């Protein structure tokens, strides 16, 4: 086994064993299952530094807030995103997303998506560098959502996620590990404020999203220890200015708070109790991230994006800058994003996302 393969095996084995370490060492931080639920699935929001939960764009973001979908100009949209990970070390670690929405009426929108993260093939070796066995850890969720307008400027939505996390099946430290499964629910609210004194299409909007509310996930069949979903609260605002030439400038700002508290030794709070505890005492201002992003869209055909995401907590994704672009030609949209970060502080460093979408528009 060459040195690159050995390094990769060690790194990814440590990644998988993080769950074991959290349980066995009883560390003070709350253990999180399926942290990839915190990742942006699409290139559009990624290019804006993960900002835009309240932003209505000409290239719709299906996953950034389901309450936005009834306001979309598209009647139908389907898109896919491919994200390669750690390309310098391995070629088979990837994040693949497929999502769609349909508006059967002016007030109603339905959505569905699949998000799949593969860690590739991991070869385990012993202290003598002898091959033991290989595993293919992977995590995914399937979602179904519905959103509805209540008046022209207010909408609400809900999404159900069915989650599976298959990191390892077998024995470790006398514990039998199995795949974990569960479900999470997202709630989304959007309020739109048209700027009537400015060019038609200009607006200010506010959004509130509560993501991944659901029961804890178990990876062990010999213990009651379970792990929290990365429940989070995201509050977003966005300003969209359009001129007479159909060019638009957008500025979005989001605040994100992880609703999972740090736990003391031996604590085991319920999901709802942990959400409440995340707002009390020293936890009130903990696990907070900020993101700001801009987008300029030329003639609804060519978009340029940039953003910054600030994360202080080790439980979140790390801070990074991002750049993005998008191109619309008739019914086809292509989006790209690239993340720039310190590799010592964010595993998202040097990550590129590529999205391809197809839309059918409402007749004028």
* pLDDT on residue 57: 85
Which residues have CB under 8 Å from 42's CB, separation 6+? 61, 62, 63, 64, 79, 81, 97, 99, 335, 353, 355
- Residue 344 has, within 13 A of its CA and on its CB side, a CA count of 0
Please state whether beta strands 175-177 and 170-172 pair in parallel, antiparallel, or not at all (unpaired).
Answer: antiparallel
| pLDDT above 70 for 5 | no
At 72-125, the pLDDT tens digits run 989 999 999 998 876 555 566 788 999 999 999 999 999 999 999 887 777 666
| pLDDT above 60 for 251 | yes
Which whole-number Å values give the CA distances from 284 to 144, 226, 250, 271, in the listed order?
A: 32, 24, 30, 17
At 144-187, the pLDDT tens digits run 999 999 999 999 999 999 999 887 666 655 667 777 889 999 99
| pLDDT above 90 for 313 | no
Confidence of residue 219 (pLDDT cuts 50, 70, 90): confident
At 28-62, the pLDDT tens digits run 344 678 888 888 889 999 999 999 999 998 777 88
Q: How many CB atoms lie within 10 A of CB 229?
A: 26
What percent of the chain shows pLDDT beyond 70?
A: 74
Please state whether beta strands 154-166 and 170-172 pair in parallel, antiparallel, or not at all (unpaired).
Answer: unpaired
Please give the structure tokens belonging to residue 356.
């391809």
Quote the mean pLDDT of the chain: 81
* pLDDT on residue 267: 61
* pLDDT on residue 24: 32
* pLDDT on residue 314: 54
Which residues have CB under 8 Å from 3's CB, separation 6+? none
Which residues have CB under 8 Å from 156's CB, separation 6+? 67, 147, 148, 150, 187, 188, 189, 190
| pLDDT above 80 for 235 | yes
Q: Which residue has the higher pLDDT, 136 or 296?
A: 296
CA dihedral 318, 58, 163, 19 (to 10 degrees): -10
How many angstroms separate the CA atoms of 157 and 145, rounded?
7
| pLDDT above 70 for 317 | no
How many angstroms separate the CA atoms of 99 and 275, rounded?
29
* pLDDT on residue 19: 38
Confidence of residue 142 (pLDDT cuts 50, 70, 90): very high
What the chain holds in terms of domains, given with CATH numbers, is: 3-361 (2.40.160.60)
pLDDT, mean of residues 228-254: 92
At 345-363, the pLDDT tens digits run 566 677 889 999 999 986 5
Phi, psi of 34 (to 5 degrees): 35, 60
**Global model pTM greater than 0.95:** no
Confidence of residue 199 (pLDDT cuts 50, 70, 90): confident
* pLDDT on residue 84: 83
Confidence of residue 25 (pLDDT cuts 50, 70, 90): very low
How many angstroms separate the CA atoms of 55 and 44, rounded?
11
pLDDT, mean of residues 139-144: 94
């Amino acid at each position: 086994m060459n040195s690159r393969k050995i390094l990769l095996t060690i790194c990814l084995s440590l990644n998988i064993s993080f769950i074991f370490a959290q349980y066995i060492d009883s560390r003070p931080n709350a253990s999180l299952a399926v942290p990839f639920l915190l990742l942006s699935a699409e290139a559009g929001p990624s290019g804006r530094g993960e900002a835009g939960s309240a932003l209505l764009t000409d290239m719709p973001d299906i996953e950034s807030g389901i309450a936005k979908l009834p306001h979309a100009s598209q009647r139908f949209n389907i898109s896919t995103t491919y994200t390669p990970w750690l390309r310098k070390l391995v070629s088979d670690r990837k994040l693949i997303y497929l999502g769609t929405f349909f508006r059967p009426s002016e007030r109603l929108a339905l959505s569905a998506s699949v998000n799949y993260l593969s860690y590739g093939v991991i070869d385990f070796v012993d202290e003598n560098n002898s091959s033991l066995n290989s595993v293919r850890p992977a995590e995914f969720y399937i979602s179904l959502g519905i959103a509805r307008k209540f008046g022209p400027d207010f909408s609400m939505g809900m999404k159900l996620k069915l989650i599976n996390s298959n990191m390892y099946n077998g024995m470790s430290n006398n514990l039998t590990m199995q795949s974990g499964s569960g479900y999470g629910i997202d709630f989304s609210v959007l309020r739109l404020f048209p700027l009537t004194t400015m060019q038609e299409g200009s607006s200010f909007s506010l959004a509130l999203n509560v993501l991944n509310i659901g029961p804890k996930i178990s990876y062990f069949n010999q213990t009651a220890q379970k792990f929290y979903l990365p429940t989070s609260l995201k509050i977003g605002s966005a300003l969209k200015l359009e001129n007479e030439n159909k060019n638009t400038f957008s500025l979005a700002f989001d605040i994100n708070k992880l609703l999972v508290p740090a736990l003391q030794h031996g604590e085991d709070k319920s999901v709802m109790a942990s959400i409440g505890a995340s707002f009390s005492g020293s936890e009130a201002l903990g696990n907070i991230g900020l993101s700001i992003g801009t987008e300029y869209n030329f003639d609804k055909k060519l978009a340029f994006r940039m953003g910054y995401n600030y994360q202080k907590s080790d439980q979140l994704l790390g801070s990074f800058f991002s750049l993005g672009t998008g191109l619309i030609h008739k019914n086809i949209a292509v989006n790209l994003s690239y993340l720039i970060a310190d590799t010592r502080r964010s595993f998202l460093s040097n990550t590129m996302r590529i999205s391809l979408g197809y839309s059918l528009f409402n007749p004028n």
